[in-house]
């Protein structure tokens, strides 16, 4: 099994030892650099580069610069996706966003994690768990979503929250760790 397959399956893998993963990361990071250095008013050029980074993006996708990700092809965007400045997605496995998702500034979605075992961690091994964001979700500024989390449809995540566990549909949740404060 390749390191890429191990990552997709949630097994420990080493992203540094795999030439394919290394080449894919550099390719997308170069595109992100290019995207982030295009004049914001040059909408057509921004869209062209963003479509290369994120194959699932379309004319309803709007990601303000700067934007960084690991691979791009693991990110699935629904219709009407909007992210404010400084979005970071560590997409070592699938990160799926539903339709009509709003992401505030300085948000991060991190599928990668590291083993508790010191020898495994020091050897460069990591794991990946998918993130799923439902339809009509609003994430305030400075929200961090950790590996394996699902956020249900119509929910709101308050600014500054760190989402460590699943959040159901139709709630407002805030804090560190993020907890439900109201049903909507």
Residues designated catalytic: 114
Backbone angles phi, psi at 114, to 5 degrees: -125, 150
Which residue spans within the chain are E strands per DSSP?
62-63, 67-69, 75-77, 82-83, 87-90, 95-97, 102-103, 108-110, 112-113, 127-128, 131-133, 138-139, 144-145, 150-151, 156-157, 162-163, 171-174, 179-183
Q: Which two structure tokens, joined as six digits, stand for 118?
A: 């010191």
Pull the structure tokens for residue 145.
Answer: 């979503």
The DSSP bridge partners found for residue 132 are: 96, 150
| Of 69, 42, 39, the residue nearest 52 (C-alpha) | 69
Burial of 170 (C-beta count, 10 Å sphere; 0-12/13-18/19+): middle
Q: % helix / strand / coil in the chain, to the nearest 5?
A: 20, 30, 50
């Amino acid at each position: 099994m390749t390191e890429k397959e191990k990552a997709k399956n949630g097994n420990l893998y080493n992203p540094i030892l795999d030439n394919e993963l290394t080449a894919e990361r550099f390719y997308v990071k170069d595109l992100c650099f290019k995207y982030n250095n295009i004049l914001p008013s040059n909408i057509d050029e921004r869209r062209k580069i963003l479509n290369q980074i994120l194959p699932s993006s379309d004319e309803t996708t709007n990601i303000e610069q700067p934007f960084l990700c690991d691979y791009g092809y693991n990110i699935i965007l629904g219709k009407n996706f909007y992210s404010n400045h400084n979005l970071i997605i560590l997409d070592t496995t699938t990160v799926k966003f539903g339709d009509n998702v709003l992401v505030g500034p300085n948000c991060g979605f991190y599928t990668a994690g590291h083993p508790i075992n010191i020898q495994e961690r020091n050897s460069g091994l990591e794991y990946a768990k998918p993130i799923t964001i439902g339809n009509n979700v609003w994430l305030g500024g400075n929200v961090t979503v950790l590996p394996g989390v699902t956020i249900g449809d119509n929910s709101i995540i308050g600014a500054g929250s760190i989402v460590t566990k699943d959040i159901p549909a139709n709630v407002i949740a805030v804090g560190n760790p993020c907890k439900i404060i109201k049903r909507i």
